[in-house]
Structure 1
Amino acid sequence: GYYTNNVYTGAMRGYGSPQIIFAQESLMDELAKELKMTPMELRLKNIYHNNSITASGQKLDNHQVSLEEVINKAVEASNYKEKYREYSEPQSGDKKRGIGMAISFRGCSLGAEATDAAGAIVAIQRDGSILISCGLAENGEGLKTVFTQIAAEELGVDIRRINYMEVDTSVSPESGATVASRSTILGGNAVKNAAHQLKETLAEIVAAEFKIRTDNLDFKNENIYEKNKNQKIISFDEAINLANQEGIFLSAYGWYKAPDISWDEEIGQGRPYFTYVYGCQIAEVEVDTATGQIEVLKITAAHDVGRAINPACLKGQIYGGVMMGLGYGIMEEVETANGYIKNTNFDEYLIPTIKDMPEISPVIVENPDPHGPYGAKSIGEPTLELGAPAIANAVAHATGKRIRHLPLNLERVLLGHSLSKGGTKK
């Protein structure tokens, strides 16, 4: 590394992957052009499948490798094949249209560089309400909703019975940082684990009271049933009262540690992640070749999330990630001079607003993952990583000009990446 006079930087959604994927996916399109293949054809010839061996030597044999599926579903939803043929023909006028795609596979969790685990406490209060405490923080990603749904599903109760405690370092269980698209798969498993322990405790109490085997009890619809007869035995609230009468404290601590993985830094080999998320985004753009103005018309985003715990929250993540990817691709740029940031306000550092939002078409792909709670896995960061390369590939398709620097501002699109915003040579 090098010391510089620039300001400190920090990790953003994707922490390094957006840059790598931009370069990788741009090169894939350039290679396809040299080989006289479509970008889709080249990718389908080279993607991973079940039991493929990755560049790091890892065999993908413990989950569904769905790259081909997400590509095909994104292609179908965007009408990619027809539009690629149409936009590849000569277009009259200054405004040219293009369509581009980008794909990725991203590891879930912190990876093999560190032990990755999360804890959660689920407690049933005397009034019958249920409290969840976890060290992972709600940042707008829907974490509270997902954890609440997981606990409600495991205990067979109404979601309105459950409350989520805000993170408090003095009492919340250690769960690691809310980063690396790890909250659902790690924190969700911890919540499920704790709720399952509570269910087992209540099952033992009910089984002893009614002389029934615990494995013949079913928790659903706010009641506890005898499985083989499908007959209600007792309500959930009545079961809580039985526990209270015996002085049994209904609280459980759940802990989930990521499966063993390994990484050899010296040779770049190993199993860096225990499972992966697969995605494909396709961008359709219109470029005014007279001014360099780019209009993103539509982005189709297909992502395999394992299982969608909450489809509404999932779509929200896709919308937000796509918009951040759009900002990274065509607007946002920190300009520095002599160690100082020049664009210190939002009139100069541009971010996308609702008026810049294109049509976004989320495509939810579900292949339940054996490691995730009810098969769910990550989605937070993958939604951002593909927008910029998909847009860059679409712009190259429209103009015939490959730009290797982000963002794709007016000057770079119109004149090439050798000019800065001020019109001077870099």
Structure 2
Amino acid sequence: MNHAHRSITLPGGFRAAGVACGIKESGKPDLMLLVSDVPCTAAGTFTRNAIVGAAVVVGRRNLVDRGGKGFRAAVCNSGNANVMRIGPDGLADAEAMCRAAAEAAGCEASAVLPASTGIIGRKLPMEKVLAGVADAAGRLEAGAAADRAAADAILTTDLTPKTAVRGVTLPASGTRVTLGGIAKGSGMIAPAMSPPTATMLAFLTTDAAVDPGVLQALLTRATATSFNRISVDSDTSTSDTAYLLASGAAGNPVIDDAGSEDALALAEALGEVCGELAEAIVRDGEGMTKLLRVAVRGAASEEDADRVGRAICDSPLVKCAVHGGDPNWGRFVMAIGKSGAAVDGTRLRVTLGGHAVFTDGVPIDMNDDAEEKLTAALRGDEVRVGVDLRAGDASADWLGCDLSRAYIAINADYRT
């Protein structure tokens, strides 16, 4: 589906806006408002960091209290994460932001899903935030301009906005439904999100009619295989959040069985949207020059496959070798061994750029030809690592990036 610059208002029933309200000293856009014309079912996944922002507390609470039903809006500010103010002041500010968005949408404050991203520990300038919500409310519309403005308003150190859309015909009902999404993330990226109980944020919409329990199951799985399988710098943010709203405007029979044909078709499309956004986040990683693709196969469990993928993508030594194009394959084996997964070195197979470097306990003969091939594999724009644990049938695909001098420069003097 080719819809240049379209995203969260492409599915029927949604309008959006993005404005600059003065939170960022740069004057760049810093407040996004998304409104549905009809009550939506909604789902969310949030950071597992023990320290969370007030928006995470309020968003998680609203989803639980309403049982995923009757949501009308999402609101997000950037430039200030409203974190480490999770007592009365921080929560009051997050709730006030919800009330302002609720007034714009014509609903209760509990029907709003909030998010925040930016610097930790600073008080939100609420006069600016509330004025920004009012300004955004007057600019709500559907279309490419609104979608781009919304995508821009959630960014922090990102260099580019991140959008994705998909359309799918539900096989059982024959209804054509659409999904759209925007995301942000560049640093502090190693999401580890769970269901409701520099930050990665995603706002996803669909015009499919979906039961809230099924919607949550679909988002949880899509998150697990996309956003939770990327790492820029191994740091899990205090504010990671992904929301999915379903308006039902497509008119399909409500999808109330997660194992049904329609649910599986929607799940595949949602996974593609989340996967595209996740890759865009890594490609915009702070200071990145190379994408790292890690394919883990033959694991005893999916958890083990994830452990290995994360260990490789998180390793500073691996990331530095990738950046420098250094064929020091021992660093990759080291990361696999420290991952906590069930690993038997006598059965392990590791490849770099398709070239075997370690097979069944036997390392490659690093002659001139092998050195040349591995160096070439590591010096491209994408570096591919293959791991076969030969311990089972589970697998996982992970995305990471190199660690450059630019990353250090960006984070040594961080200002939004």
TM-score of the two chains, using structure 1 as the length reference? 0.25
Higher radius of gyration, 1 or 2: 1
Which one has more relative contact order, counting CA pairs under 8 Å at least 6 apart?
Answer: 1
Please report the TM-score for the alignment, with normalisation by the length of structure 2.
0.25
Q: Which structure shows the bigger proportion of residues in strand conformation?
A: 2
